């Protein structure tokens, strides 16, 4: 039996491209977890590292820089002493939280 493949609209193809772009970024190890943790409120580098566990400081630093460059996080430095750095979601990052929550709920229901 031959299965008929539906014709894909241009809008659907653009959506697929957008999803691929989003998941290539969000699917990078640690990125979604960092966003979820920072989504609970501003957090410092050390506390974030302890909360995640299993991530090296250099990888965490790279991911935070990447998320900041993408406009999802903002970084603030308190001169101290001691100097402390904290991260929080930007409005763009906040806009992503409902989608991440839905993905987490779907995963819990269907992949657990």
pLDDT computed for residue 22 by the predictor: 84
Q: Phi and psi at residue 72, in whole multiples of 5°?
A: -90, -30
Which listed CATH number (1.10.10.1100, 2.60.120.10, 1.20.1600.10, 1.10.10.10) goes with 10-110?
A: 1.10.10.10
Q: Is the pLDDT score of 20 beyond 80?
A: yes
Q: Give the global pTM.
A: 0.80
Does the pLDDT at position 93 exceed 70?
A: yes
pLDDT of 7 above 90: no
According to the model, what pLDDT value does residue 56 have?
Answer: 96
pLDDT at 1: 59
Q: What is the pLDDT of residues 80-89, one digit of tens each?
A: 888 889 999 9
């Amino acid at each position: 039996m031959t299965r008929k493949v539906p014709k894909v609209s241009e809008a659907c193809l653009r959506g697929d491209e957008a999803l691929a772009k989003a998941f290539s970024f969000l699917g990078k190890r640690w990125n979604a977890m960092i966003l979820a943790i920072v989504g609970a409120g501003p957090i410092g580098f050390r506390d974030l590292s302890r909360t995640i566990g299993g991530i090296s400081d250099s990888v965490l630093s790279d991911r935070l820089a990447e998320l900041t460059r993408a406009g999802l996080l903002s970084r603030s430095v308190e001169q101290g002493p001691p100097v402390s750095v904290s991260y929080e979601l930007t409005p763009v990052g906040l806009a992503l939280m409902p989608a991440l929550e839905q993905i987490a709920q779907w995963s819990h229901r269907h992949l657990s």
